[in-house]
Structure 1
């Protein structure tokens, strides 16, 4: 039922609804001008419509009272009299290889009235098209084809609309999913049945590795995704589990379980850079994550996730404490002809690139042939050193490292230390904790206040019921004997070699980490992230996808050889590595010191000094400064100040790369007043400036 409000400057005349009467139209209810005098024309107030679905096609709706919408109720005495505020932000991934784009935006201020949002989309710089009109603040748009998309949003009420908030480019590059179940239905179904029987009769182990889902696969095969089984395939480039392709029914397929060769390890290390961090957190080389949309859309494996949470720029100090308790070693022995016969007879074919790609899609590059079961705990102690000088940073780093070493010992226990707690509090240390196996959920509850207690609890409460695979090894698939006349590369897709797709992928992944190190700090310093960060992320993602997809391996190139293709945010044929180095700037610490000597004799002077960093692209460091400039990036050291009749001193940052000092100096009037006024002082500005620096490519 619709509601009708008749609004005036002084009052609201409610519409009267009577049972049994027909509902009058808006025209019938409108009073004549003689009856209303100066009253406003009646306004129909629609109820809020809130979506029940997040898709962009014919959402189901429900009616919600007007007061439940974003921005509140009807405002009381009329209106609305102004437009809602512009949404402060709009966000979406700069790249995706799926067909979906999720767009989110910040809330608008409705000034007491409900706020509705209008979302518009543009493809390949064409016309803007409205794709959403409603009260939610996010929208998932599906079935998007390949291309470059932009989005903008504005807020509206019943009378006005705000201006638009527009985002950057989003590159949609849908991957072509192969449906092996359509190409080899008999073989796939037969192998699935054997694998289900294998999983039902064999004890699997918990794992943090993600399992890739295949198109056309039944839901029964994707149950227990957090477990792996010896013999499972492994995609080295993506770092994901694949299906078991070894013949689990062969009598030569045997699993042995023995005590581990190295029962436990303990380590405390200072983190020099993010490459070392990946090693310390025992992230498999294939899974050293790139910070792109594809990595996140896949669903992060646990080892990737613990890495992502602790990657920072060089302004952070990090220590890693890890304990690894290995309790049992599992080893797989395989027969000479280890592969399923269905794969050999129906999929594999010598010197056939399509057959190689199909096999890899199903089975990955290698198979898991051994694993240590037990538990592992990883603690990353991090503090932000932006507010410290170099000397202060080194002193704090040494102090923290010493205290951690005093408390955590190689015998797998942690002592009690109030001095460590004091240091953690004073340095505002954060702890990212992750676990493999052990007491469920314990890592999530670790804080600086309870880290010693929780650490000991983890070690003591690990038992066979909560073991997981703490490390594993993989092995190459062996050629079937029927293909002994052929080389391994003639049967299987080759990922190895210094110029192979795995090596190239590692190079691109490392570039994506360098990219994150350059782009993330802008927001931390309160600055707007450059648009080049979004476009460059998309470009790196496009290059990486060429290494992920087997059928694109011919185009998986070394960064020194890669030029952009037709789908690009720059120009086709651009040398990407050079473009990255020129356009994705690195923030570099910068300082400026300047002294001033102002003197007035029998008169006045308006002082307005600006102490500025070298470029208008620089900005002051909000984490530094002292005195009036603490938390603003500057310090003022006054040598002498005498101002008999003038005003007080003021200090501001204006523009963003300058510390501005102002005062009105005025002398007294002789013979009774001081005839001079002085201000002698020095300003030191600490800030950051974007500089051009080459991206480094690993050998």
Structure 2
């Protein structure tokens, strides 16, 4: 068992000399004179140098011997452990029984690297849950609890140090509701009829909507239930999650028909400046119920195209953004349904008036509404954006106006793109980036769009949209109709009622907006090179738990307004806490802050050591590395000297110490009379640009 990793520098040829000495007495032949010592020593781990049995008269008792554990390559290493992974990440919360843990790759110094992932539950002992060459692991079958993870790298001879996650993840798996066990004949009949419907290829296209995992532990022949964006007219739609559910309409009924007509608006085009992330979601047409605020997706749903479109462009307030959006609508599909539209099997076996469990079962399978119409064609979303952190407010406004005007000059009112060298020049000078996303149209084109080719690619997208690559660019939904046998009951007595200003859909919108504000407060810390506050992970988990109460039908009684919500006792860091108040107090918002101070140092016939610190308002602040000029460029400060005279002194120095202060130093010294300059001066101003965490209340949408 190796106890340490000490290293001994031995010239390569000299090492072989040592080995030769150890065998001289056996061979009676001295070949040492033919060996030439190397000028470049190599570090050899001492615990990979094994003692030899001494022969009488031998003066050396250690020699380089390849040991399998240390040197499986037969003399070629490895001689050291891989580096420690620089990061490990996992979602703060999941309501599935599975999660993915990811980590950064280690430096193997030329040798293969394996990773060991360890897990601790509820503060217990660590156990290894993964051993392999990957940099992520999908872990399933996790029960309710707090989990924490750490990872280390190893090679065939050595094991590196652990990288431990910054916090735990809350795992809160939802209870399984097996509809196939409760309603076997109804589910089987549905699946058989739907399988026939799904095979009518002219009735299926793609969209950017995610598809929920098959509800009730069943599978449908011929139906892809993964999040591939495929939909059918008549598919259910979960308003709270913004995802597709199963088709629950009677597709075999003679009055179940689809009409196809020209669209009412064949083409639309727009250019808009983005005011904030809430406005961005509207411009990118993210559904009002999509989970836009977090990276920890509901693992049973996957990532919808519209959410992915949003997350690529959602950012802090220092980013200037314009959205260019074009839609080419080529055909309008409309679903016509019979009076009794729902499968008779569901009506007879699942739906039951004033039965909360029946409402939940139907909603789990069929959603809140169904897709009743769609426009087919293509849509392209272009988000032009540049980082304005290095600009003053006036410079930012000028650059924003220039970019907006240049984009407007490039596109005509109808959306046709011209050829403009000024656009390319502006994009290059402002270092503008483009996030592009598409629905339909030439496959993969959006991924290849750059500022250099945006003109060509845009025109190609418009021209190359054909019926072969159409997708759903708009869709609408209808409420499920009450079966005629339940005409005496209201809609909410038959179906789970999501409506009303205090209903679960309205509350979910409020929580989603809270989650967007959370993102706006927490993401910028890393952008500015600072450690993200641990409260961000806790806040994200608690907001997700509150949102779960709105996602789950049987929990709707606890889906409350953010102004009235208190944390529960499920693994809560602060149980019984008023969450909105806690978020406002602990998730501070980074605001720009500038301090200006003038110094005037004068020395007559003597010397002085100048050591000035110009600091932001508190030690919680930090200088903005994106600002500054001269000696303070990239450090967040600016020095303006009005007068400097230092006959015999030293040179000036500038640095940031601590992180919220600009420190300026010099040794001022006068000359010697009668011929020397008898005064020394430094008159200057320091401007420190920084970011300060400020307490600001979260805003709840009405």
**Offset at 1:152?**
2.9
> SS of 1:671's equivalent?
coil
* CA deviation vs aligned residue, 1:31-76 (integer Å, no higher than 9, x gap): 335668442797844389xxxxxxxxxxxxxxxx769xxxx9625x
Q: How does 1:205-284 map to 2 (within 5 A)?
A: 205-214=205-214, 215-218=217-220, 220-222=222-224, 225-284=228-287
**Which residues in structure 2 correspond to 1:104-143 (within 5 Å)?**
104-108=102-106, 117-132=115-130, 136-143=134-141
Q: Determine if the alignment matches structure 1 residue 32 to structure 2 residue 53.
A: yes
- Say if 2:45 is the partner of 1:46: no
Tell which deviates more after alignment, 623-632 or 103-112.
103-112
Paired residues of 2:286 and 2:306 also in contact (CA < 8 A): yes
Offset at residue 141 of structure 1 (A): 3.0
Using the TM superposition, name which of 444-453 and 667-676 deviates more. Answer: 667-676
Q: 1:73 to 1:381 in 2, by over 3 A?
A: farther
Q: Which residue of 1 aligns with 2:297?
A: 294
Q: CA RMSD in A?
A: 2.8
**CA–CA distance in 1 between the matches of 2:576 and 2:661?**
40
Q: Report the CA distance between 1:130 and its aligned residue.
A: 4.1
State TM-score, norm by structure 2: 0.88
Tell me the equivalent position of 1:145. 143
Alpha-carbon distance, 1:221 to partner: 2.3
Q: 1:352 to 1:41 in 2, by over 3 A?
A: farther
1:90–1:189 CA distance, 2 compared to 1 (3 A): same
User: 1:661-672, aligned counterparts within 5 Å?
Assistant: 661-672=664-675
What pairs up with 1:394-413 in 2 under 5 angstroms?
A: 394-413=397-416
Q: Could you tell me which residue of structure 2 aligns to residue 541 of structure 1?
A: 544
- Give the secondary structure class of the aligned counterpart of 2:203: coil
| 8 Å CA contact 1:327, 1:372 repeated in 2 | yes
Query: Structure 2 matches for 1:246-645, cutoff 5 A?
Result: 246-287=249-290, 289-295=292-298, 298-645=301-648
Tell me if the contact between 1:87 and 1:165 (Cα under 8 Å) persists in the aligned partners. Answer: no
Cα pair distance change 1:30/1:376, threshold 3 Å: same
After TM superposition, give the deviation of residue 108 of structure 1 in Å: 4.6
Q: Distance in 2 between matches of 1:93 and 1:147?
A: 14
| Alpha-carbon separation, structure 2, partners of 1:245 and 1:349 | 16
Runs of 5+ consecutive residues of structure 2 not aligned to the other structure: 1-6, 21-46
Q: Is the 8 A contact 1:93 1:293 kept in 2?
A: yes
Q: Secondary structure at the match of 1:168?
A: coil
CA distance in 2, matches of 1:507, 1:473: 22
- CA deviation map 1:495-516 (0-9, x unaligned): 1111111111111111111111
- CA distance in 1 between partners of 2:76 and 2:394 (Å): 56
Kept in 2: contact 1:280–1:320 (CA 8 A): yes
User: Is the CA contact 1:169–1:569 (under 8 Å) kept in the aligned structure 2?
Assistant: no
Quote the offset at 1:567 in angstroms. Answer: 1.7
Provide closer, same or farther for how the CA distance between residues 163 and 196 of structure 1 changes in structure 2, counting only shifts above 3 A.
closer
SS in 1 for 2:531: coil
SS at match of 2:167: strand
Matched, 1:172 2:171: yes
Residue 197 and residue 74 in structure 1: after superposition, are their counterparts in 2 closer, same or farther (change >3 A)? same
SS of aligned partner of 2:682: strand
TM-score normalised according to structure 1 size: 0.89
Deviation larger for 87-96 or 644-653:
87-96
CA distance 1:281–1:516, change in 2 (3 Å): same
Change (3 A) 1:135 1:463: closer
SS at match of 1:222: coil
Aligned length: 658
Residues 270, 697 of structure 1: CA spacing in aligned structure 2 closer, same or farther, 3 A cutoff? same
Q: Distance in 2 between matches of 1:675 and 1:427?
A: 49
1:1-26 CA distance string (max 9 Å, x none): xxxxxx976327899xxxxxxxxxx9
